Structure 1
Amino acid sequence: MISAEDYINSLKDGRVVYYRGRKVTDVVDHHVLKVPVDHASSIYKLQSDSDYKEITCYNDNNLGVTSSFFKIPRNTEDLMRRHELIYETTRLGRGQFNIIQAIGTDAIFALMYVSRKVDEKYHTNYYENVINFYNNAAKNDLGLAVAQTDVKGDRSLRPSEQKDPDMYLHITKRDKNGIYVSGAKAHTTQSIAANELIVLPTRSMNSSDKDYAVSFAIPANAKGITMFARPMKEVETVENDTLSVIGRKNMEVETVTVFDNVFIPNNRIFLNGEYDFAGLLAMMFPTFHRFTALSYRAALADFLIGTGKLLAEYNGVSDKSNIKRNLSVLIEYKENLRANAIAAAYKCNYDNISGIAIPNIIYTNVGKLFANQNYTDAIKNIVDIAGGMVATMPSYEDFENPDEKDILLKYLTGRDRNETINRIKLFQTLREFISSLGSLYLAGMIHAEGSIEASILELTRSYDYSNSIALGEYSAGIRDKL
């Protein structure tokens, strides 16, 4: 395992990143991008903190002590430990998910499962490649990002039907040493802070899409990879804000990641034209990652519950029935996610070939669908608790000015003058969350880890209707017994 300092230094590797129209010479020292780098490094800090080692570290007989994120789930207990790991590290990140090893290991577990099936049918050696990559990543405590979502171009057309073939990442050339790929992936979270990128197909493929059925891992600084980071307005607007913490310390960044004739050596390839397995891999990764989503979103909901409860108390209205209803909605949101994660772990499916425990697809997607569809309702209720001051609170600079400070503290007092500054901090934090972070989270909570439609499709496709149909027939007298 490595230190936070070693991890940060590992990113000084010449990777090509652009931010707001300018090439970034060093993501570690960049005035904005250093925030997601520092956020990612907090995982490494926790690993060296005696209070959190039990959560973030585990001892593997073959690998020694390594990050708990690399613990391969073999049973319910392992999945429950992973749920708690993601839940607790998100809470320690002030309610903000830390994806730097979680998403990559979600992809690795899916690849372990799928690669064995590909090898069995085509006599390839992809599982060996996956295991070798996993061992290297675990031993070296690497930061990982996943590039799955293609930019897609005309979405009414299949990958091979696009006017521009680069709308889906694809193989442009094969030789005895490996493959060359071109195209672009969107929404690659924390790619600028990752040591390695894991690339997965975004959808099912047919024979005409063969060159688009590709999966591999590649260093983030590989020749031909360029990352275009989204503007981090939530960081830029609170960079010097002493009353707001999240935007200065615990934010992540996404990129459009372009691959321009990037060479992938044979030992790093996990899928190379086996189009009939692209859909399975595109489905198995979200299964693991949606389980992760239930875990971190429950912790985010915990942040909303705590903020709402404190503001209700500082406002002197915690005993009011409408406030209790607001809080009950937030509690319901959190505990539904936790319950589905626990159910998905306890009703997991065990694959005998790969030895992987797979979160129950139904409970995982039911929970994820609930998270997508009810997020805006959760925000409505936290705003209703807070009141209008969450939007109209004076700026932090006003509280820094001695001519204004005492006046504002007098008139912004709630239940108790001694609580005023804490009340103000809560308002500032919540305003940051619903304004500068608002559009990011609104899009993320609806589309991250798969859209609402994706969860509906997977739920209806994977659900076993047989018992329900039997009951329907029995109730209607079509059959005599169940």
Structure 2
Amino acid sequence: MGLKTPQQYVESLRDGRVTYWDGERIDDITTHPRFKVPIALTAADCEYDAPDLGALRRYRTEAGDDAHRIYQIPMNEGDLATRVEMLRNTSIGTAVSGVYMALMSVKDDVAQVNPQCAANIERMYRYCRDNDLRAAEVITDAKGDRKRRAHEQDDPDLYVRIVDRNKDGIVVRGAKLHITAASLVHELVVMPTKGMRQDEKDYAVSFSIPVNTKGVSIINRSFAPAELNAFDYPASAHHSMPEGFVVFDDVFVPWDRVFLAGEVQLASRLAQSLGLWERTGGLIEAVRMSELFVGLAQLVSEHQGKDKDPTVMNTIAELITYAEMLRMSLDYACRHYERTPSGMVHPNILAINAAKYYYAANYHQTVRHLHDVSGGLVLTLPLESDLRHEPSGSYLRKYLHTKKDVDVETRMRVYNLIRDLTADAYGGWQFVVALQAGGGLTAQRIMMHRTYDLARAKERALIAAGALPRGGDATRKAAE
């Protein structure tokens, strides 16, 4: 019980979990070089006494105990703003525990259909919170042939499904893909990947189990090699996190850990709830990244002596527009929050989806602007080892010189960050994540159609066209 120290977090990962990477089964991830950076990154979130961030990381529960703020249920605008600030300063290895925010936001809906499942959500939330555990967002199925429903696939296990039910629980089989930090958490929280029909009851399943449960295997992949030079890879060397391919091979789940077991009418509701919080997290990261892009573009142009060039200034203005649109969108979504029946506050659904769509749809073009300002050195700049070695270092200092007040090493660091963020290890991961995290562009389009007040828009259009008189409810009914 209680908050973990960083060392206690690391020790808690020595629990016999089955983890693979590059054809190797890793029995103790805490001593393996591939996990060194991601474990250190996540363990840092347990530094609750840190002078700068310690207070931001913890909050006081209703029982008077300290818990990580990732588990604080926002009840007002201030709580929501504090949560956003906390997520700005939290590793993704901890941020994924926000899956319990999604579950708690739909607990009221679940209770109307299955009160026991709602009680299970509440109990597991408190268990993870009170024991300072980390939980993964386990949602995306393998899916097979996308033209066919879950129960129509050649292999019925291409969506996670219930293969047996008994008095003690359920048995599940299948796999979930793209599970960030799966090997570094304590609980795997499985959610439906989408809505299910009545003939797909076995696929409408949600639960939470320990990572070391018998039958669970995790196959890892990361955008970054185990050891990277921080000078050449200023982002990847410090921020890599493995993605897990999580397999459930006839895994037993006790009934008290089950959140959904055939209640098809709730499957899409659970999937959408996680999408909201995933997209909120993605938007928080987008705001941070877009501001970095502006700063990097300005530094490059100043180092080159082109900061007053009209073309360069126009390009940087495009980057500023992108950054400010994202920042304002996040602010709007939080200020115009929505509330669940039990009082939980969450960001405005329409605003988050519109902002996430704008971020993802324009990300690649924004990177193009940064590359256009930066030039070919983004890819061809020699390594730190060349800078430190003579005579190559002397050549680099001579020919990378631009102005007396520009330090060559600083110039190289700026270029290295641009390359790492947009054209190398971290950048390759980010190119895909910007589009796919929280669902692809289509997912945001669907949610915008569901949440935008189309009836009001039609009403106003008809009034403007002179096809309807001005006037309240009758006008709106006519528009509908």
The answer on whether the counterparts of 2:177 and 2:245 sit within 8 Å (CA) in structure 1 is: yes
Matched, 1:6 2:8: yes
2: CA distance, partners of 1:428 / 1:2: 35
1:427 aligned residue: 415
Q: CA deviation at 1:7?
A: 0.9
Matched, 1:365 2:353: yes
Q: CA deviation at 1:322?
A: 2.2
The answer on whether the counterparts of 2:230 and 2:238 sit within 8 Å (CA) in structure 1 is: no
Q: Deviations over 1:139-167 (max 9, x none)?
A: 22212211100010111111111121110
- 1:44 corresponds, among 43, 46, 54, to 46
Q: Percent identity?
A: 30
Q: CA deviation at 1:234?
A: 2.7
Secondary structure of the structure 2 residue equivalent to 1:255:
strand
2: CA distance, partners of 1:165 / 1:455: 28
Secondary structure of the structure 2 residue equivalent to 1:234:
coil
Q: CA deviation at 1:417?
A: 6.2
Q: Deviations over 1:270-318 (max 9, x none)?
A: 1111011001111111112211211121112222222222222222222
1:471 aligned residue: 460
Matched, 1:223 2:201: no
1:444 aligned residue: 433
Q: Deviations over 1:5-24 (max 9, x none)?
A: 11112111111111111111
- C-alpha change, 1:414 and 1:469, in structure 2 (3 Å) is same
Matched, 1:66 2:67: yes
- C-alpha change, 1:100 and 1:63, in structure 2 (3 Å) is farther
2:182 aligned residue: 191
1: CA distance, partners of 2:170 / 2:459: 50
Which aligned pairs between 1:230-379 and structure 2 lie closer than 5 A?
230=221, 232-236=222-226, 239-240=228-229, 242-352=231-341, 354-379=342-367
2: CA distance, partners of 1:325 / 1:55: 38
Q: Deviations over 1:16-36 (max 9, x none)?
A: 111111111222222222222
1: CA distance, partners of 2:229 / 2:85: 33
1: CA distance, partners of 2:313 / 2:186: 46
Q: Which moved more, 1:32-41 or 1:173-182?
A: 32-41
1:155 aligned residue: 146
1: CA distance, partners of 2:313 / 2:56: 33
2: CA distance, partners of 1:60 / 1:478: 56
- C-alpha change, 1:402 and 1:178, in structure 2 (3 Å) is same
1:94 aligned residue: none
Unmatched runs of 5 consecutive residues or more in structure 2: 472-480
1:100 aligned residue: 93
2: CA distance, partners of 1:270 / 1:73: 22
Matched, 1:411 2:399: yes
Q: Deviations over 1:71-116 (max 9, x none)?
A: 10122222222222222x16xxxxxxx22232222x2122123232
The answer on whether the counterparts of 2:26 and 2:32 sit within 8 Å (CA) in structure 1 is: yes
- 1:383 corresponds, among 365, 371, 380, to 371
Matched, 1:209 2:200: yes
Q: CA deviation at 1:233?
A: 4.6
Secondary structure of the structure 2 residue equivalent to 1:5:
helix
The answer on whether the counterparts of 2:20 and 2:218 sit within 8 Å (CA) in structure 1 is: yes
The answer on whether the counterparts of 1:115 and 1:270 sit within 8 Å (CA) in structure 2 is: no
- C-alpha change, 1:323 and 1:43, in structure 2 (3 Å) is farther
- C-alpha change, 1:145 and 1:243, in structure 2 (3 Å) is same
Return the letter of the residue paired with 1:118: V
Return the letter of the residue paired with 1:4: P
1: CA distance, partners of 2:430 / 2:331: 24
1: CA distance, partners of 2:319 / 2:407: 24
- 1:15 corresponds, among 11, 14, 17, to 17
- C-alpha change, 1:180 and 1:24, in structure 2 (3 Å) is same
Matched, 1:140 2:119: no
The Cα RMSD (Å) is: 1.7
Matched, 1:81 2:82: yes
Q: Which moved more, 1:107-116 or 1:175-184?
A: 107-116
Matched, 1:116 2:108: yes
Secondary structure of the structure 1 residue equivalent to 2:31:
coil
Return the letter of the residue paired with 2:442: E
Q: Deviations over 1:160-187 (max 9, x none)?
A: 1112111000111111111111000000
The answer on whether the counterparts of 2:223 and 2:428 sit within 8 Å (CA) in structure 1 is: no
1:95 aligned residue: none
Q: CA deviation at 1:452?
A: 0.5
Secondary structure of the structure 2 residue equivalent to 1:474:
helix
Q: Deviations over 1:311-341 (max 9, x none)?
A: 2222222222222222222222222222122
What TM-score do you get using the length of structure 1 for normalisation? 0.93
Q: Deviations over 1:405-458 (max 9, x none)?
A: 122111112223661111111112222222223321111111111100110111
Return the letter of the residue paired with 1:432: D
Secondary structure of the structure 2 residue equivalent to 1:28:
helix
2:448 aligned residue: 459
- Matched residue pairs, number? 468
Return the letter of the residue paired with 1:271: L
2: CA distance, partners of 1:240 / 1:207: 53
Return the letter of the residue paired with 2:106: V
Secondary structure of the structure 1 residue equivalent to 2:93:
coil
The answer on whether the counterparts of 1:373 and 1:452 sit within 8 Å (CA) in structure 2 is: yes
Secondary structure of the structure 1 residue equivalent to 2:175:
strand
1: CA distance, partners of 2:301 / 2:86: 30
The answer on whether the counterparts of 2:371 and 2:378 sit within 8 Å (CA) in structure 1 is: yes
